[in-house]
Amino acid sequence: MHWYWIDRFTIFESGTRAQAIKAISRGEDHLSDHFHYHPVMPASLMIEGLAQTAGLLIHETHHFQKKVVLGKIPKFHIYNTELVPGDTLIYDASIEYIADDGSMASVQVHRKDELIADGTLVFAHLGQGFMNKKLFNEGELEDLVRVYGMYDIGVQKDGTPIVDPEN
């Protein structure tokens, strides 16, 4: 089963911020059950999309060498839960703080100009106790950001492109 909850990056500034889009499609399996006659994207999947947007931004900042996991959602406000097929959600994530063992990002969701949700996500960078635990296969994260278009639009802090290691 795939667990992709963004479609592609539209902005990616290493170590600073990322923006991704998510187009909600009636063809997504879960919308058949949530709910059959009233398909609405569960807000938890919106949070997952934000976690992927912010998490991959943090992963890239650490050159994919850390085990980054969503640890806590200290603040999150949802202003509208009617997210329906045909909507395009815009996910924004900005790194507020980044340290060796953790990081924090502020996140927002918009549908056009409407603010749908905002909040803060805290990520843990797993340490020595998790040295032998594998979260992703070798190169898997790079493949994921490649599919999400990060290498097409991503830039370093100095404005130069983030180079795809496969090129």
Partner 1 sequence: MATKEEILNGVKTVLVDALAVDEEEVTPEATLVDDLGAESIDILDIIFNLEKTFGIKIDRGELIPEDLLTNQQYVQDGKLTAAGLDMLRERLPNADIDTFAKNPMVQNITKILTVNDMCYIVESKLNAN
Which residue, 72 or 134, has its beta carbon nearer to partner 1? 72
H/E stretch holding 151 reads helix 150-153
Among residues 157, 155, 149, which one has the least CA distance to residue 21? 149
Coil vs helix vs strand at 160? coil
Position among 4, 79, 97, 130 found at the interface with partner 1 (CB under 8 A): 97
Task: Name, in order, each residue with C-beta under 8 angstroms of 14's C-beta and a sequence gap of 6 or more.
Answer: 57, 60, 61, 154, 155, 156, 157, 162
Which residue, 122 or 144, has its beta carbon nearer to partner 1? 122
34 catalytic residue (yes or no): yes
Position among 23, 25, 30, 74 found at the interface with partner 1 (CB under 8 A): 74
Position among 26, 63, 72, 134 found at the interface with partner 1 (CB under 8 A): 72
**How many separate helices (H) and strands (E) can be counted in the chain?**
4, 6
- By CB under 8 A, the count of residues binding partner 1 is 12
102 binds partner 1 per the rule CB under 8 A: yes
Position among 104, 116, 117, 145 found at the interface with partner 1 (CB under 8 A): 104
Place of tokens 């805290």: 122
Nearest-angstrom CA–CA distance, 125 and 143: 20
Stretch that binds partner 1, among 1-9, 21-29, 98-106, 135-143 (CB under 8 A): 98-106
Active site positions, annotated: 34
Q: Tell me which residues touch partner 1 (CB under 8 A).
A: 71-72, 74-75, 96-97, 99, 101-102, 104, 122, 124
